[in-house]
Structure 1
Amino acid sequence: MVPVPRFLSLPDYNRQLLTLCEEDADREHYRYTETIEERFQEDVKNCHPLPTVQFDLTLRIPITTNKWGKFYLNKGMHEYSVSPKHAGSKVNLILTSALVIVQDENDHEIVRHRRLYGDTKQQQMDWLPYLKQLSLRPRALKYTGIYDLMPPTMKAYLEGCSHTEVGRVLKTLAELTNRTGFESAVNTVNQALCYDAKDADSLENLYRRLYSNVPELPPMPLHPGIPKMKQMSAHLITYDALLKGKGGAAHA
């Protein structure tokens, strides 16, 4: 075709082309005094019936994952994730023009990815199974290769959390990823770093603020006669001095 078409999904583009062909079928044939649709119906009468068994256009290959539960295609240029549970194990791949479907040895689907093309290094990563696995064993977080694959902001956030809170935070990140994707979880973590919020409850609240359709209310307008007050900052040292002066040091 001229010019060369550009599209994101080959199946969707093929359906679009089929619709255009059907719309064009009412045009008169360039050689015969009939429409293209009439010539097509004449051809259909002389065609053999289609096979009853659907022709499989997929490629099926076995492959072994690495210690991080990943595998490579296209001479190591394209990286795909499976899950930490299937690290170093054999899996079966079903390759279509648009998808890479990963199955276990019993042909049960584990995960599916959009198929990558091109001669540059690319990655398709599904973080959900990795975050779920890490939330079950949070103390081993830094000793896994998965930790090194995390975005720098997420690693910095987890390093600032207490040991007792890391498991809850990882579980919350898995839940956020399951709802709206890993990118939304990363954005929530970035906001939490700005507010220095280092607990799972704060992550949940920030997520609702970012991704729930709750309008942010503007500041309440004040009457012109009301004087503007300076913001007061709390100084606990002043309260300590007050308690000591009142004989409350023993109760502080």
Structure 2
Amino acid sequence: MTVVENIRRLDADGVSARQIAIELGVSRGSVAKYTSIEDYSPTPPRPAARPGAQSLEGFTEVIDAWLVDDARRPRKQRHTARRVFDRPVTEHDYTGSYSPVQRYIKAHKAAHRARGEGFQQLVWPAGTAQVDFGEAQALIAGVKILLHILVVTFPYSNMRFVQAYRGETAECVAHGLRTIFEHINAAPRQLIFDNATGIGRRTGKKVIESKLFGSFKAHYRCQGRYCNPYSGHEKGNVENAVGFLRRNIMVPEPEAQSIEGLNQMLLSRCAQLAEEDHYRKGAPIVELFGEDVAACLELPGIGFDPVRYESRRADKTGAVLVESNTYLAGPAFHDRLLTVGIRHDRIEILDEHCAPVVVFDRVYGKAEATILAPGSLLPALVAKPGAWGNSPVRTLVADPVRDWLDAAADADRARLLTHVDQAATATDFDTAIEAATKLITVGDDPASAGLGMLARRIVQGAEPATAVVDLGVYDQLTGITNTIEESAAAQQVIIEEVSTEEVSTGQIAVEKAA
């Protein structure tokens, strides 16, 4: 611009174009160009046509007709850029490349975009939370498993929390939300969800919500709102947080001994992220989150119990079907109407009077075999010990006990199973089998009352340590006994000698007196 200014300054002073070119060292054409411009006001830049654009000449009208016609077609059956490229090649002998077609379609869509189309920035009040699920891997007790991570965010402060579960059921959501509510000591006034099938589903303006989650909302007095299908942008804060938390606190895969331990670790890592500044407001997230908590609801005095109770009739073997998996209550409960308590981590079976029968770890997915507690089959095996060889319990006991039961007569087998049942009732099945294994290993009879005593001592940690017994103590006791006997004998000899002397002395005294 300095050269241009000098050209126009000299031109204004009446200097000829030839003289300007000589003085400034530019061509006379440049002088003529810059002196002829009347308006130097800034203008917006215009994109230059890229090479290859001329190859579409004669095809743009056809392409425009296809794209206009797409407006009347189903959304999933419209032309893509690849399809638009393929049709001119096969139908109109187009010889150009794919790139000009792709750029033309992009420009066409931008030019014909509706005024109301696109996303808009949403403002969320304090005390509002967004909820969503994602997936991530973790090492639990040394085993890598795929977990479903429940992410809860507060858009006002950008505070984020995460909890891991084996599924995305209503029980998982209710348990995770309760954990987070109690962690922050408050309940959000409004919860924003997508169409999560475990909680509820929105079809048009109609929302069908699970009974469990309806009870959860009533318990904490909060409200739920569901986004439109395929509209993740309506809760963009939590959508972004799912990927952010997965990349920042779960890389590499976190390790824990249990899912409960992992969830405690995740909460502490989320607290560390809260020390950072808000991406837009500039204040620490933890300070802004204080305003979120202040706008939330107070917690009730009792926490919500996230369990779903359903009635199930047991079959002839005493098994009930829960979510495509079979759980065995026990043969004694055959053909009875039982109550099943479904939690996020376990299945509880109750009898007709709501008395606990047995508890199982909840299995997600399809199990290959019936899920059972070995102790529930022991009473039936005591009554029919001949069924031992084909019982599923046989594969669940240690080799010494299995071998002993395989070789035992029915009466002895029933006797051992009776004591195992009693010990398992007092402790647990694994402890009872461990006690029986110890008795067999040392050569004792496992089918005795000592089995239950040993099982209780194992549970209490009072089992004596195995050690080499020093029998020398008995030699010491024998030596002490011998010493006592020798002392007694010596005392008897002394007494006898003293008595003899006294008798002799007495006789001498009598003789002298006489």
Aligned length: 216
Query: Alpha carbon RMSD of aligned pairs, Å?
Result: 4.0
Q: Which residue of 2 aligns with 1:46?
A: 295
Q: Which has the higher contact order (CA 8 A, sep 6+)?
A: 1
Cα contact 1:58–1:94 (8 A) shared by 2: yes
Q: Take 1:87 and 1:218, find their aligned partners in 2: how far apart are those partners? A: 51
For 1:32 and 1:18, the matched residues in 2 are separated by 24
2:386 is equivalent to residue 142 of structure 1: yes
Give the structure with the larger helix fraction: 2
SS in structure 2 opposite 1:68? coil
Deviation at 1:52, TM superposition (A): 8.4
Q: Distance in 2 between matches of 1:200 and 1:207?
A: 12
| Unaligned 5+ runs, structure 1 | 223-252
- 1:62 equivalenced with 2:311 (yes/no): yes
Matches within 5 A, 1:113-124: 113-121=360-368, 124=371
Query: How big is the shift at 1:25?
Result: 2.8
Asked if 2 retains the 8 angstrom alpha-carbon contact of 1:25 and 1:35, the reply is yes
SS in 2 for 1:38: helix
- Matches for 1:11-90 after TM superposition, within 5 Å: 11-47=260-296, 57-76=306-325, 79-90=326-337
Query: SS at the partner of 2:309?
Result: strand
The answer to whether 1:177 aligns with 2:424 is yes
Task: Identify which of 355, 358, 374 aligns with 1:127.
Answer: 374
Aligned to 1:217: 467
In 2, are the aligned partners of 1:157 and 1:189 still within 8 Å (CA)? no
Amino acid at match of 2:283: E
Closer/same/farther in 2, CA of residues 174 and 113 from structure 1, 3 Å limit: same
Q: Specify whether residues 34 and 125 from structure 1 end up closer, same or farther in structure 2 by C-alpha distance, changes over 3 A only.
A: same
Shift of 1:93: 1.4
Given the superposition, is the C-alpha separation of residues 198 and 219 from structure 1 closer, same or farther in structure 2, using an over 3 Å criterion?
closer
| CA offsets 1:148-199 (integer angstroms, 9 cap, x no match) | 2221655653454456555542332023323543223334444555537363
Greater radius of gyration (CA)? 2
Question: Identity across aligned pairs (percent)?
Answer: 20
CA distance in 2 between counterparts of 1:31 and 1:146 reads 70
* Superposition pairs of residues 149-228 of structure 1, within 5 angstroms: 149-151=392-394, 154=401, 156-158=403-405, 160-161=407-408, 165-191=412-438, 195=443, 197=445, 199-201=447-449, 203=451, 212-218=462-468
Secondary structure of the corresponding residue to residue 62 of structure 1 = strand
8 Å contact 1:116–1:122 — kept in the other structure? no
Q: In the superposition, relative to structure 1, how do residues 161 and 146 fare at CA in structure 2: closer, same or farther (>3 Å)?
A: closer
Distance 1:213 1:196 in 2: 16
Normalising by structure 1, report the TM-score: 0.63
SS of equivalent to 2:268 = helix
Query: 1:118 offset after TM fit, Å?
Result: 4.0
Is contact 1:130-1:146 (8 Å) kept?
A: no
Pick closer, same or farther for the CA change 1:175–1:116 going to 2, 3 Å.
same
Q: Deviations over 1:35-65 (max 9, x none)?
A: 1111112223334566889666433332222
Give the direction of change, closer, same or farther, for the CA distance of 1:208–1:13 in structure 2 (3 Å limit). closer
* TM-score (structure 2 length as normaliser): 0.35
